[in-house]
Amino acid sequence: MAHPHSFITLVTTVMTENDQLTGLKMQWTMDEITSADLLYDAGNAKPDSPVWKKLAAEVMANVLGQHYFTEFWHNGKKVTFNNLPPEYGLARVGHQAVLTFVLPLAHPQPLKGQTYQFATFDPTYFVDMSYDNASDAKLPKTLDSLCKIAVKTPQPNEDTLAFAQSLDKADAPPEDMELGKQFAQQVILQCQ
CB neighbour class for 155 (10 Å; exposed up to 12, middle 13-18, buried from 19): exposed
- pLDDT score of 31: 96
Angle at 22 (CA atoms; ends 70, 61), nearest 5 degrees: 45
The model's pLDDT over 65-124, given as tens digits with 9 standing for 90+, comes to 999 999 999 999 999 999 999 999 999 999 999 999 999 999 999 999 999 999 999 887
Bridge partners for 27 per DSSP: 11, 100
The model's pLDDT over 3-43, given as tens digits with 9 standing for 90+, comes to 577 899 999 999 999 999 999 999 999 999 999 988 998 99
CB neighbour class for 50 (10 Å; exposed up to 12, middle 13-18, buried from 19): exposed
Of residues 77 and 160, more confidence is placed in: 77
pTM above 0.85, yes or no: yes
- pLDDT score of 155: 75
Q: What average pLDDT does the segment 121-148 reach? A: 92
- From 110, 154, 145, select the one nearest 19 (Cα to Cα): 110
State the DSSP H helix or E strand holding residue 185, giving kind and residue range, or none if neither: none
Q: Are 95 and 39 in contact (CB under 8 A)?
A: yes
Q: Tell me the C-alpha distance between 109 and 53, whole Å.
A: 31
For the chain, how long is the longest CA-to-CA vector? 49
- pLDDT score of 35: 95
Q: What average pLDDT does the segment 174-184 reach? A: 63
